[in-house]
Every structure is written in structure tokens, then in C-alpha cells.
Amino acid sequence: MSAVRSRTVSRPAVPDHTYWDRFLSSQNSAESNRWRGANTGGYSNPEYDRLVEQWRGTLDTNQLLSRTVDLHKLLLDELPMMPLHYQVEVFAFRKGLNGPGTFSPRGRNSTIDIHTWTLD
């Protein structure tokens, strides 16, 4: 029987803009927008909206991370949602498989270079 290796990969440390849309006041689901807003919980906070605009408007990594921390702190303080689970991805592959390497925390496709993998 071949040895099996596994690796746990976490989701990106810096979420994309659709993550923040779920709590924007402008994204509230309502009859006026035919219930199409991403903010189905109806959360509304001008400070949150301001922080998201700052987050979107910066290219500086330190400022981006600082705004990300501010946004998460605000969401944890006010709890517009309460996460009940964490998404974890586990990849298992057999001994002798050459190719799978370190996964990028921003990457979501760990098999993008599968055509270059080899098996001993």
C-alpha cells in the first residue's frame, strides 16, 4: 500500500470584494431591486460602508491588511452573521507523485499545473 500525504489549505487571508458585499448597505435585498442584493440579512452600518470603500481604494498592502482587520473587527463586534463552520480543504496524494507543491493562500485552483505532474 502506498503512503498517502495530505495537506490542509486555508482560504485567502484577504477576501475578494464579493465577501464584503454581503454586508454593504447598498447591497440590501429589497423589493426596489427585485430582491437581488447580496446583503440578504439587511445589515446597514455607514462605518462599515466607509471601511469597504477604503479597502477597495487602496493598493498599499499594509493599508489593505489594516482595513481588512478593521472590517473583521467591526463584523465580530456587531455580529451581522455568525459563522458556524470553517471551510477547510484537504488534498491527499500518493507517494511518488511529483508536482503538487505549496499552495498559495490566494489561489483556489491547486491543480492548475496538473499536466506537468509525474508519477515515479
Residues 44-98: tens digit of each pLDDT: 999 999 999 999 998 898 998 999 999 999 998 998 877 777 666 666 677 888 8
* The model's pTM: 0.56
CA distances, 77 to each of 8, 28, 70, 109 (Å): 29, 20, 10, 33
Band of pLDDT at residue 108, cut at 50, 70 and 90 = low
Domain that holds residue 47: 4-119
pLDDT of residue 8: 43
Number of domains, the chain: 1
Question: Mean pLDDT of all residues in the chain?
Answer: 78
Instruction: Compare 2 and 73 and report the one with higher pLDDT.
Output: 73
The whole-angstrom separation of Cα 91 and Cα 56 is 32
pLDDT of residue 107: 54
Q: Are 90 and 8 in contact (CB under 8 A)?
A: yes
Strand ranges inside the chain, DSSP E: 4-9, 89-94, 97-98, 118-119
